[in-house]
Structures are given as C-alpha cells and as structure tokens.
Amino acid sequence: MHVTFFVLLAASMARFVQRHGGEARVWPVVALAALLAVLYAAGGRRLLRALPRVPVPWPPVPRLLWLAAVVVVWAVLVTLAPSFAWVAVPLVYVALRTLPGAAAFALVALLTVLVTAARLALAPRFDFDLLVGPAAVVAFTTAVFVLMQRQDARQRTLIDDLIRTRRELAATERRAGTLAERQRLSMEIHDSLAQGLSSQRMLLQAAERVWDAEPGKARGHVRTAASIAETSLAEARRFVRDLAPAGLAAGGGLPAALRELAERESGGGLAVRVHIDDHTGAAPPERVQSALLRIAQGALANVTEHAGAGAATLTLTVLDDQVVLDVADDGRGFDPAALPAAPGGERGHGLPAARARLRQLGGTLTVESAPGAGTVLTAAIPLEEPR
C-alpha cells in the first residue's frame, strides 16, 4: 500500500502537469503533492508499523493528527486537481488500519464521496458509472481488508493455541519424567535398602528367639545381619552419590566422575574403561554433566544386572555444539524393537528415565543392539549456550 500510494501520487502529478502545464495553479498543486508525499513518508511508515494489525479502540492522538493532516491535504489537493482522486485507495487502507470500526467506515465513506465528486468534476457530462465506480472499488478494497483482518485474527488465535499447547505438552513431559525417575528410585530402594532392612529384622528376631538356647547360632544371625547392614549402607551412599554426584560436587568434573564410576562398577567379572575425547577444553554446563553422569550410572547398572558382559566402555566426546556419551558393552544384547512402547513396560525404568532427562535438555537417546552382539547406548545433548 505504501508503494501504491507513491505510484498513484506520482502518476497523478505527472498527468496533471502534462495537461495543465501552463496554468497558474500548477505550482500550488505540485507543492501540495510534495507536501502530501513528505507528510505520508514522515509519519506513515513509523506510525503504521507500530499499529497492531487489528485496530484497537481509538489510537493515540499523534496518529489521529497525522491521519487528519494526510486526509485534509489530500482533500485540498483533489479540490484543486481532481486527477489525484485515486490516491484515496491507499488511504482507505490507512483509515481501516488506524481507526476502530465505525469511525474507519465513516472516513472511508467520506473518501468515497470526495472521489466521486472529483470524477464528476472531471467528466464532461454526467454518467451513472461515475457514481457506481468509486463506490464499487472502495467496497471491494474494504471487503478485502476485512477478510484479511479476520484471517489474520484466526491465524493469531491458532498460533496462540499452538504455543499454549506446546507449553502444556512440555510441562506434561517434565512431570512424566519426574514421575518415571521417582518410580525408578523407589524400585531401586525397594530392591536394595528395603529388602536389606527386612532381612536384618528377620535375622535379629531369629537371633532373639535362640539367644539363650543356641548362642552360637544367634551370634551367626547377628553377624549376617551386620553384613547385610554394611551392604545396605553402601547402597544408601550410592543413592546419595546418584542424587548429588560426588565427583561433580567436588569439582572433579564429568571425566573424573566417570572414572570414579567405572572404578566403582568394575569387578565381579566386569571391566569398565573410560575414554575422554574433548575437542574444546571447556566444561559443559553443570546440568548437562549431571544428566550424563546419571545416565551413565543407570546404563552401567543395566549392564551389570542384565547384560552378562565382561567389558564396558564409557566414551565422552565434547564438541563445540554438543556433548555425546556412549556406553558400550559386549554382553548378550537384545532387540530394541521388542521393548514395550509404554515407559512402564521397560524393566527398572532406565531407558524411559534417560529419555525424559534428555528431553528436558533438548537431547536424544539412541540404543543400538542385537541379540548376542552387545549394546551401544548413545546420549547426545546440544550446547546452545556459549561456554
């Protein structure tokens, strides 16, 4: 519309100068046309850009004064030179964008009357088309604008709904990840600490029953209970390390924490190695390090419990744009496609919990495995923030 305004204004001025070049009113008309161009250029781009696409009730006074000045200068120009009448077409859009409904339609009607009067003044005789033509053009222009306005309003409503839905989905996924992690921890606590405490209670009760009759047997029950208590204490300390990773908290960074984890998990026929490939020398964000460490802990727990592997390797690759952790083992493997789709169907909630944790950081989890061919778990997290 801006381009159309200046094209129509220039064409009208050229037509007027060509037809009335020798008349005394040429220079006043040229001056008014130049004033209208300067006025529109000075205020139109800045003011209209600040306007919403759907007019709000009564814009600020400077916008109203600018619109009034443009319309008045154009009306005077049309009075002196009716050939400038068609410049009203872009002004119709300006009125519809600037003013609220009733006021905008009233100004459009006034512009239509002025255009019709100008065309009648130029015509050598009366013609019914002179009345119908301007009204039809303005009505078409107004209808197109109203249609675009409604489509734009619907589009913005859909975008707002989409943004709200995405936020709700993200919140739901976060809640689901939190619940999955809680369930994983509850199952681990039940299978280790709770079972250990239950065994201790049974052994101590048994020792109490035979304490006088069979003291040797009672002391054996107590020693067994003490051994179980020691194991449970180690499990409790492991949970503390999982919830607040000691290696990271001590400032050793993720590589040191992975080496400590590998040393702790090695044994019982399983050898765990660590390989660090850092191309940047800068530590990833703490939340990324914590997530990868917990994923490594869960993956090695699965290797120890399910894989029957003799060797496992933790490979940490730090790039400029992402951090990648690979956990590979030479165990019995499995078919990833055969895993249940529902998170609750996967034993221990290891993979669903890892996926949920990575989703919160914008990362991905890939599992490559086949029966008898071992397993490779890859966790990748993008680094969007400068480090």
Domain residue limits, the chain: 2-122, 253-387
The per-residue pLDDT for 85 is 81
The per-residue pLDDT for 159 is 92
Find where tokens 């990362």 sit. Answer: 363
What residue ranges in the chain does DSSP mark as E strands? Answer: 271-278, 311-318, 322-329, 364-369, 375-382
Q: Phi and psi dihedrals of 345, rounded to 5? A: -85, -15
Quickly count: other Cβ atoms within 10 Å of residue 345's Cβ: 10
The per-residue pLDDT for 130 is 66
Task: Starting at the earlier edge strand, list the strands of the sheet with 375-382.
Answer: 271-278, 311-318, 322-329, 375-382, 364-369
- Cα–Cα distance between 239 and 236 in angstroms, integer? 5
Find where tokens 């759907």 sit. Answer: 54
Query: In CATH, what is the architecture of 253-387?
Result: 2-Layer Sandwich (3.30)
Residue among 260, 333, 335 nearest 302 (CA): 333
Residue among 242, 265, 246 nearest 256 (CA): 246
Tell me what the pLDDT averaged over the chain comes to.
80
- Give whichever of 100-104, 243-247, 312-316, 345-349 has the largest mean pLDDT: 312-316
Residue 351's pLDDT band (boundaries 50, 70, 90)?
Answer: confident
Indicate if the pLDDT at residue 265 is higher than 70.
Answer: yes
Per-residue burial over 120-159, b = 16 or more CB atoms within 10 Å of its CB, e = otherwise: eeeeeeeeeebeeebeebbeebbeebeeeeeeeeeeeeee
The per-residue pLDDT for 192 is 64
The per-residue pLDDT for 347 is 43
The per-residue pLDDT for 187 is 66
Higher-scoring residue by pLDDT: 44, 40? 40
Percent of the chain with pLDDT over 90: 9
Residue among 68, 67, 83 nearest 33 (CA): 83
The per-residue pLDDT for 344 is 42
Q: In whole angstroms, how far apart are CA 77 and each of 50, 51, 121, 301?
A: 28, 27, 14, 85
Contact 323, 381 (CB under 8 A): yes
The per-residue pLDDT for 105 is 85
The per-residue pLDDT for 241 is 64
The SS3 assignment for 5 reads helix
Mean pLDDT calculated for residue range 49-62: 56
| Chain-centre distance for alpha carbon 100 | 34
Indicate if the pLDDT at residue 28 is higher than 80.
Answer: yes
Indicate if the pLDDT at residue 189 is higher than 90.
Answer: no
The per-residue pLDDT for 117 is 78
Indicate if the pLDDT at residue 348 is higher than 50.
Answer: no
In residues, how long is the chain? Answer: 387
Q: 157-167 pLDDT, tens per residue?
A: 999 999 999 88
The per-residue pLDDT for 324 is 92
Q: Phi and psi dihedrals of 182, rounded to 5? A: -65, -40
The SS3 assignment for 146 reads helix
Q: 93-139 pLDDT, tens per residue?
A: 888 888 887 888 888 888 888 887 776 766 666 666 666 777 787 78
Indicate if the pLDDT at residue 52 is higher than 60.
Answer: no
* Contacts with 86 (C-beta within 8 Å, 6 or more apart), sequence order: 8, 12, 115
- Give whichever of 197-201, 287-291, 310-314 has the largest mean pLDDT: 310-314
Indicate if the pLDDT at residue 246 is higher than 60.
Answer: no
- Cα–Cα distance between 38 and 93 in angstroms, integer? 18
